[in-house]
Structure 1
Amino acid sequence: GIRVLVQGCWGFASTSVVTEASLAATARLAADIAKANKLVLKEPVQLAPHQGFGEVSWKTPLVQSAFEVPVKQKADLLLAANAAA
């Protein structure tokens, strides 16, 4: 999902299509929703000031790619978690 803050109003939109065109259209939709929300806005949203971290990168140490785990193993894990809940 994409969330935006436009003129003190939140807008949210999501898509399951991960292409440049779809993401751009979804961002525009989120902005349009934020602008529409302004009609019922009582008080603009103001984010707390926060010092940035600059440019950073982080990499998760992968033990096994999720795409290499057999579907049966994933399903068994979910069923076991569900049974324990």
Structure 2
Amino acid sequence: MQQQQQQQQQQTPQQQQHPYHNQLLLLQQQQQQQQQQQQQQQEQQNEEERARTGAAAAVQTAATSTSTTTAATAAATAAAAAAAAARV
């Protein structure tokens, strides 16, 4: 009789702990999923930011190149006009 009572007493706390343990596991899984989602969102935002930065740099480079070319063309045109005027 004493052995049966001891076994029942030992089993009861374990059975009561199970629902809490399951809830803890679920909470941990949810937290891990949220952390993974946040990490993925952060990585995606970083990637988008890098793409925007790269595109802005490309536009800036193209604009600088275009303005340099335009300035060189204007200078060459002015030099040609000056040379033509000197001949006259």
Normalised by the length of structure 1, the TM-score is 0.26
Higher relative contact order (CA 8 A, sep 6+): 1
Q: Which protein has the larger Cα radius of gyration, Structure 1 or Structure 2?
A: 2
Structure with greater helix share of residues: 2
